[in-house]
Every structure is written in structure tokens, then in C-alpha cells.
Amino acid sequence: MRKQIVTGMILLILLILPLLLYLQINQNFQVSVNNARESADHEETLLARLLSSEILRNRSTSNMEIRNTVQSIGKQYGYEQMQILFYKDRIPLNGVLSEETAFLLDKKERTSYLSDPEEALYIVHPLDEHYTLITRSDFSVFYQMLREQTAAGIRICIGGLVIAAVLSLLISGRITRRLRILSRSADAVRSGSAIHLEPSAKKDEIGKLTNTFIAMNDAIVQREENLREDARQRQALIDALAHEMRTPLTSIVSAARLIQKGGDMVQMREEMCDLIVKESQRLAEMDENLMKLTRMHTAELKTETFSLLEMAQEALAVTPDAVLTGEDSTVTADRDLIIHLMRNLVNNAAKSGTLTPVRVTLHPRGFSVSDEGRGMTPEEVSRCTEAFWKADPARTRASGGAGLGLTLCQNIARLHGTDLVIRSTPGKGTTVEFTLPLQSVEDSET
């Protein structure tokens, strides 16, 4: 790009500057020549009148007398830049034309001729059928001026080319330097390295390109960070899933082997079959919850406006021991997901070791689920929504959980543009609150 800019600038100077200088020099030359031509024309007119009055009135004047008269008039009026040539019947009486200008004697009318080789102006004036006056004015000074101006123009063109080349190198270097920085930054992004590019305060195209490139790089970095986090969470989920599946699968395999070796022990067979059924149900529940978690990332809310009280009554129909309080209100959300959310929270609270019924309290934009169970520490509260995380793995397994309930609930809440609020005190119980945001779900997702 830098070579193109320099070449373009030089070509532009070569096209414009010589043309402008040529036009200017030629105009100056033409103006000077025209002024001198007018002056020579005026002088020749005066000479023609004098010669006509002195010579033509006396036809018997000899050629010698005519020559003397012409020379006398030339000296008297003193035109230093003008040479007088006088012919009688094509015979020179005073001065001789050169071979290049001899054709002027054939002119029948007054005319002027500018001879470039001789750098002189000839004015041919036939006084009558015998006498012809020719004046030769020296224009060498104008041609000399033309040559000097042409030489000066060439020097100006050369200087202009040098200046244009230097300026174009400086300007293109300044422009391409920023582009080279962007190019190196692009290479760094391609190789995965960090870039060190400062935002540009300039409002030109390269400044805008720089800021756009920085924004693009930030987006790429954020996307890579999100992908790494997703990969980390996915690996953690796989590791936890493998760990969780090991226990029920081990129990099922051990029970099956005991049945094979148990002989006629009917009671043991029944216990082992119950264990197999229980662990199989646990695996099925784990699979169902995992499928829900997987689909939750691409789920689209099917929002509708409904009564919070009617929704809660339907959700708690499978857990009649739960206590429902609070006032009814109308909300807009995905009704099926909110039912699933409430049921999971109630089931999770019921497994907390509470000795009192689980309480569900309605409020204008949501609800809360409370228990008086064993509770959680602040560290446990911060991690309880992680997939497969359990404060007490042995106790949770005994209660049949897999550590996915609160993860599902948190994902449902985030789909609605909010988060679960969990307050817990060890030994006193836990309260989980779900509140829909003030704005509509469509605005939240947008």
C-alpha cells in the first residue's frame, strides 16, 4: 500500500505540475511576444510613412540615394532592436533576407512572420509594385526568457517530485504504520496471543477500524472465555455424572449377583429386587433431569398470564402436606416451568429433615418456599445450585436425590430474567424466594 501511495503521488505530480508550468510559461511568452509585436508593428508603420513620403514622391531617385535615405531614417529614429531591409524590384538596397525568409518577398500584402529559428519578427510591407519594406525585430530576448523559464520549470518539477516523494513517504508511513499495527494484532488474534492495542480517539476511517477491531477482539476473548467456562462446566458435569452413576450401578450389579447366588432366600431376593428398582428409578430420574438441563439452554418461554394461586394449587396437588399462604396475584410467565420450579423447591425442602410442613408463601410477583430443616452454611448456599453438588453426599443419596433439583430451578429462574434468592441458617432451615422482574419477559429476553 505504501508503494502505491508514493507511486500515485509521483504520477499525480508528473501529470499536473509540468502541464501547469507549461501553460504558464507559454502564456507568459505569448503575452510578451504579442506586446513586442504590437510595438514593432507601430514602429514599422511610422517607418513606412516616412519612407513613402521621402522616396515615392521622387521616382527619379537613384538606388544609392534611396539606400542613404533608408539608413538616415534608421539612424534618426534609432530603433535598436529593428533592422530595416529595403527592396526595389526584388533587388536589396539595404540589407538582405536569409534563405529561410526569402519567400517573404512574394507577399503582396502587408504581413508579419515570426521566425523561430532566427528568433526574429519580420514585417513585410509592399509600398507599391516596385518597393518593399521589410523590418526585422530581434525577439531573442523573449526566446531566452522562454528557455530560462523552461529550465526553471524543469527544476521546479524535479523539486516537486522530490518533495512529493518525501511527503508521500511520510504520510503513507504514518497511515500504513497504524495499518501494520492492526495487521500484527490480527496475526496475534489468529495465533491466540494477547494484543496490546489502545483505543483510537481519531474519527477517521482507520480510527474507527481500530476501535471496531478492539471491540471484535474483546468479543472474541469473551466468547473464548465463555467457551472455556462451558467446557469446564460440561467436564465437571460429566465427572459428577460418572461419579453419581457409579453408586446406583454398583448397587444394581451387586444386587443382581447376590440374587444369582442367593439360592432359595426369598426375602433376600425381594430386598435385592427392591434395591434394583430403587436405584433404577434414581438413574431414570437423573436421566430425566439431565435431559431437562440440556434442553433448558435452548428452551423458548411460552409465556401466558395466569393466577399465581391457581398455579400453586396445581403444583402442590402432589404434595398435600405443604402449607400454602399469601394473596393471589396475576403474573406473566411460562406456567409449566413455574409449576416445575415450585415442585422441585418443595421436594428439596421436604428432604431437608424438617419436622414441620413445608411453607409456600405467595407474594405479588412470585413466591417463597421455606422449611425448618438442617439449613446450610454461607459456603453451601453459594454452591447449592451447582449440578450434582451436595452438602452431605451420603445423606442426599439416602434420600434419593442426585443434586440436580436446585440447578434446574436456577436455570428456570434465569430464563425468566431473575435469580433465586436463598437464605439459610444452619440448624434453623432454608428459605428460597423466586420473584419475577418488573419488566415483561419479552423485554428481559431482548
323: domain CATH number? 3.30.565.10
| pTM, to two decimals | 0.43
Does the residue 248 lie in any domain? yes
Q: What is the grid cell recorded at 307?
A: 393466577
Does the residue 103 lie in any domain? yes
pLDDT of residue 111: 92
pLDDT of residue 101: 87
> To 5 degrees, how large is the angle CA 162–CA 167–CA 172?
130
Does the residue 18 lie in any domain? yes
CATH number for 43: 3.30.450
Range of lowest pLDDT (74-78, 276-280, 409-413): 74-78
| Mean pLDDT calculated for residue range 311-332 | 90
Distance (Å, whole) CA 326 – CA 308: 10
| Mean pLDDT calculated for residue range 401-416 | 75
My answer on whether 264 and 345 are in the same domain is no
Q: Of 231, 265, 298, which one is at a domain's C-terminal end?
A: 298
My answer on whether 128 and 85 are in the same domain is yes
My answer on whether 214 and 249 are in the same domain is yes
Contacts of 325 (CB under 8 A, 6+ apart): 359, 360, 361, 362
Range of lowest pLDDT (78-82, 115-119, 399-403): 399-403
My answer on whether 34 and 111 are in the same domain is yes
My answer on whether 233 and 311 are in the same domain is no
My answer on whether 224 and 280 are in the same domain is yes
Cell 526574429, located at residue: 120
Answer whether 341's CB lies under 8 Å from 348's CB. Answer: no
Does the residue 190 lie in any domain? no
Which of 58-67, 157-166, 226-235 is modeled with the greatest confidence?
157-166
My answer on whether 292 and 304 are in the same domain is no
Q: Which residues pair with 278 in a beta bridge?
A: none
Mean residue pLDDT of the chain comes to 80
My answer on whether 287 and 307 are in the same domain is no
Answer whether 351's CB lies under 8 Å from 386's CB. Answer: no
Classify the C-alpha dihedral 309-315-318-324 as positive or negative.
Answer: negative
Q: Of 273, 298, 323, which one is at a domain's C-terminal end?
A: 298
Distance (Å, whole) CA 180 – CA 306: 60
How many domains in the chain?
3
Distance (Å, whole) CA 148 – CA 144: 6
Question: Which is nearest to 87 in space by CA: 127, 52, 40, 41?
Answer: 127
In order of 13, 80, 109, 202, the CA distances from 412 in angstroms are 70, 112, 112, 45
CATH number for 251: 1.10.287.130
Does the residue 160 lie in any domain? no
My answer on whether 383 and 349 are in the same domain is yes
| Mean pLDDT calculated for residue range 184-211 | 76
Does the residue 175 lie in any domain? no
pLDDT of residue 396: 46
Distance (Å, whole) CA 242 – CA 392: 18
Range of lowest pLDDT (101-105, 200-204, 427-431, 433-437): 200-204
Q: Which domain holds residue 272?
A: 198-298
My answer on whether 235 and 335 are in the same domain is no
Does the residue 233 lie in any domain? yes
How much helix, strand and coil, in percent to the nearest 5, is found in the chain? 60, 15, 25
My answer on whether 136 and 22 are in the same domain is yes
| Mean pLDDT calculated for residue range 105-125 | 90
Does the residue 180 lie in any domain? no
For residue 230, which amino acid is it? D
Answer whether 181's CB lies under 8 Å from 197's CB. Answer: yes
Q: Of 281, 298, 315, which one is at a domain's C-terminal end?
A: 298
In order of 223, 268, 376, 436, the CA distances from 41 in angstroms are 89, 143, 120, 105
My answer on whether 75 and 129 are in the same domain is yes
Q: What is the grid cell recorded at 416?
A: 425468566
The yes-or-no verdict on residue 239 having pLDDT over 70 is: no
